[in-house]
Amino acid sequence: MGNVTSIDASRPRALEFFAGIGLARMGLESAGFRVAWANDYEPDKKAMYDAQFGESDAQHFALGDVGKVVVDDLPRDVSLAWASSPCTDLSLAGNRAGLAGAQSGTFWHFIRLLDELKDDRPEVVVLENVIGLATSHGGDDLAAAIRAFNNLGYSVDVLSIDARRFVPQSRPRLFLVGAQNPPNDAPVPNSELRPDWLQWVYGDETLRTHRAALPAPPAPKTEGFGNEVEQMPLDDERWWDADRTESFVASLSPTQLDRVATMKRGTGVKYRTAYRRTRNGVPVWEVRADDISGCLRTARGGSSKQAVVRMGNKRLQVRWMTPREYARLMGAGDYDLTAARNNQALFGFGDAVAVPAVAWLAENYLLPLVNGEMKAQSTLSVKAV
C-alpha cells in the first residue's frame, strides 16, 4: 500500500475546474496525472463524481460557484490546470452570447485565479470547449482567451480533436494548451489537429502562440455504435409501444423512410441513432445513415435526447438511449451509475469531455510538456498585447 501511495505522490498534480462528473480527471489520471482539487457548482454532478471516485475525495471537491473560489482555496505545487468551462453561450445549440455570457463567462474566474496564483501558477493550462469558440463573435472570443493566457505568461497552442477518433460518437472539441515554456517545434502548420479554419490564430502577430509537433491522432471511426448498444430483451418496457413507434416512422422524410425500410427488411440487426429536429416548424425524426452516434447533448443546450433505432429481420424498435450507452460513448463504460437518476446521468455525460480524447492529449502533449520532454523555446518573453 505504501508503494502505491509513493507512486501516486510522484505524479504531477492537476487542478480540475468545471469538473462536472470527472471525465477529464479520468483521462488525465490514466495518462499519469493526479487531480488534487476539483470544482463544480452542480450538486447532481458532484454526487456522481463522489460515487465514481469515492467519498474520501469530497474534501478535494469544492462545490459551488467558481466566482466565489478564492486563491487560498487552491493547492500549490501543481503542474496543470484544466478547465472545461461551460459551453452554453458558445455552442450552436446555445444562445451564442460568447465569453460575455453568464455561463461561458465563468472562464474569466479561471483566469482570475491563475493570475492570483502568481509565482505558483502551473506550468501548463488547458481550456476545453466547443469548436464554436473559434468563430464566436468572429473569432474575437478565441483571441481574447488566448490573450488572457498570454498576459499570464503562457504561449498558446490550439487544437481541434473529435472524440470520433476514439469512440463511435461525433464530438468535435477545441483545446487551448497554454505553456510557460512552450516547445520549440516547427511542425507542418496545417494538419488534422490544426485545420484551415484555425490557421488565422497563428498568423495573428498580437497573439503569442506555438505549435507542438505531435503524432497523428487515430483516424475517425466510421462504425462501432452498434457495439456500444446496451442489450436488452425485445419486450423490455423501455422500447416504445406500437403507437409511439408508428408516430416515429410517420415523421420520417421519404429519404429517411426508405433508408429505415431497407434496414428493417435486411437480415441481421443494425442499430442507428436518431435525433428529433424541427423542419419548417414541424418536429420530425432523422436517423443517421452511419454506424456512429451523433454528438451527445443535454436538453439545456437546446437539443433533444438521442434515440436508438433497432432494425432488421423485418422488425423495427425505438427507445431512448440509456445512461450506460452515454457512458460508453464517452469512453467511460465502467462509470459507476448505481446512484444516478436517469436524467442526472444524461445531463452529466452530455456536458462532459470524452475520456480518451483527454487521455490522448495528456499522454502525447501535456505530460511530456510538464516533464520537460519537449524542447523549450529559447526565448520566453511574451509579446505586449
DSSP percent split of the chain into helix, strand, coil, nearest 5 = 40, 20, 40
Read off the pLDDT band of 59 (50, 70, 90): low
* Predicted local distance difference test score (pLDDT) of residue 97: 40
Any idea how long the chain is?
385
Look up residue 247 and give its three cell numbers: 408516430
Phi/psi of residue 64, each to 5°? 145, 180
Per residue in 294-349, pLDDT (tens digit) is 999 875 544 568 999 999 999 999 999 999 999 999 999 999 999 899 999 999 99
Every domain of the chain and the residues it spans: 2-220+353-370, 231-321
CA–CA dist 86, 99 (Å, integer):
10
Residues 6+ apart with CB under 8 A from 316: 245, 249, 260, 264, 309, 310
CA–CA dist 192, 220 (Å, integer):
10
Per residue in 8-21, pLDDT (tens digit) is 778 999 999 999 99
Across 98-114, average pLDDT: 68
Pick the CATH number of 2-220+353-370 from 1.10.3210.10, 3.40.718.10, 3.40.50.150, 3.10.129.10: 3.40.50.150
CA–CA dist 5, 11 (Å, integer):
10
* Predicted local distance difference test score (pLDDT) of residue 305: 84
Q: What is the pTM of this model?
A: 0.90
DSSP 224-262: -HHHHPPP--TT-TTS--HHHHHHHHHTS-HHHHHHHHH
CA–CA dist 353, 331 (Å, integer):
9
Question: 294 with 306: CB under 8 angstroms?
Answer: yes
- In this predicted structure, the answer to whether residue 288 has a pLDDT above a threshold of 90 is yes
- In this predicted structure, the answer to whether residue 100 has a pLDDT above a threshold of 70 is no
